[in-house]
Amino acid sequence: MAQAKTRLEFAIYLLVIISIVYIFTLDVTKNQQPFFNPHKTPHDHHFPLSKTNNASMDKLDVALAAASTSDRTGGGGHRGLINHLLIVAVDQTSYDRCRFLGLHCYKLETDGVDFVGEKVYMSEDFIKMMWRRTLFLRDVIYRGYNFIFTDIDVLWLRDPFPYLTQKQPLDLQISTDRYRGNPWSESHRINTGFYMIRSNNKTRALFDAWYANKDNFPGQKEQDVLEKLMRQGFFRKLGLKVKFLDTLYFSGFCQDSRDVTMVATVHANCCRGMAAKLADLSMVARNWKRYKRLASANMTSTFRWSLHRACWNSWRS
C-alpha cells in the first residue's frame, strides 16, 4: 500500500520527468523532414518531445493515468500536454507500446545497440546512451528547432519559462551543479540535464565539435566533454552567448534552492542509480505537496527540504 501511494504521488510529476524536450520554433529548415505536424499546443507553438526505452514504459503508463486524474481534480491539466507529446522510442518494444497508446511516436535507430534496460551510471552502455542522445539532439538542432531539454530525473514544480531569459538573444542557457553568483562566468560546473538552446550556426558548430570530440576523451560522458570544451575557450571562440542558471530557480540535489517560493525544477544530480533517484525524487514530490498545504495556511516559514539520503548513500555501493 505504501509503495502504491508513493508511485501515485510521484506519477503526477512523471510526465515532465521522462526526458521531455520543449521545441519552441517550428521554422523547420527547408528540405528537412519534421518529426510530426503538431497542432497548436498550450505553449503556443511549443510541443514536447520525450525520449524513452522499454525500461521506462511502465512509468509512461503511470504518467498517462495520473495526468487524466490530475485533469479531473484540477491538478495541472497534463492531459493537454500529452496530446502534443512526441515519444522518441529507442527500442521496438517501447515504440510498439507507444503506438498502442495512440501517441505521437518516433523510432530512433540505434545501430544494434541495446538501450532497453537501465544503464548503470558511467558504465560503457550509459556513456554510449548519453552520446547517442547528443547525436539525436544535434539532429534536432540541424532541423531548425530551438528546444528545452530536461532529463529523466528532473522534476518540474513550476513553469520554467518565466525564469529563462527570452528577450535577449542568448544561444544557450544551461543548469549548474552549484551556482557561483555570476550567470556569465565559465567557472561553473555545468549540467546537461536541463538546458535551453537556440538553433543557429553557432550552436550547430557547438554540437558538431561536441560530438566530434567523443573519441578524444574515451570513457567520459558527454557532459564532461562539453565542460572541457568550455574550459578550453571554445564557447568564446564560437561567440556563443551563454547563461549559467541559478540554482535558486533550477535546483538539484547538489545544491537545493534557497527559496521554495521561487524554485521551478529539481534535478536528482549528485546521485547514482535509478532506485536512489526515484526514492529521493518521490520525497521531493511529498515535500512539494507539504509546501502547498503550508502555503494555503500561510505557514511556509516552517518548510524545509528533506535530506537526500538515498542519493548520498548511493555513492557507498
Q: Evaluate if residue 78 carries a pLDDT over 80.
A: no
Whether the Cβ atoms of residue 164 and residue 109 lie closer than 8 Å to each other:
no
d(CA 140, CA 26): 11
d(CA 137, CA 210): 11
Q: Which helix (H) or strand (E) holds 284?
A: helix 274-296
Q: How many domains does the chain have?
A: 1
User: How do residues 140-181 score in pLDDT, each as one tens digit?
Assistant: 899 988 888 878 788 878 878 889 988 778 999 999 999 999
d(CA 311, CA 224): 20
Percent of the chain with pLDDT over 90: 35
Q: What does the pLDDT read at residue 292?
A: 86
The pLDDT of 216-220, averaged and rounded, is 90
CATH number where 224 lies? 3.90.550.10
Angle between the N-to-C axes of helices 57-72 and 2-14, in degrees from 0 to 180, rounded to the nearest 10:
80
The pLDDT of 271-283, averaged and rounded, is 87
Please give the residue that has the higher pLDDT: either 301 or 211.
211
Which residues span the domain enclosing 309? 2-314
Per DSSP, the three-state class of 252 is strand
User: How do residues 220-252 score in pLDDT, each as one tens digit?
Assistant: 999 999 999 999 999 999 999 999 999 999 999
What is the pTM (predicted TM-score) of this model? 0.78
Q: What does the pLDDT read at residue 123?
A: 76
Res. 212 pLDDT band, cuts 50 70 90: very high
Per DSSP, the three-state class of 8 is helix
- What integer best gives the mean pLDDT of the chain? 76
User: Which residues lie closer than 8 Å to 119 by C-beta, 6 or more apart?
Assistant: 125, 126, 129
Res. 203 pLDDT band, cuts 50 70 90: very high
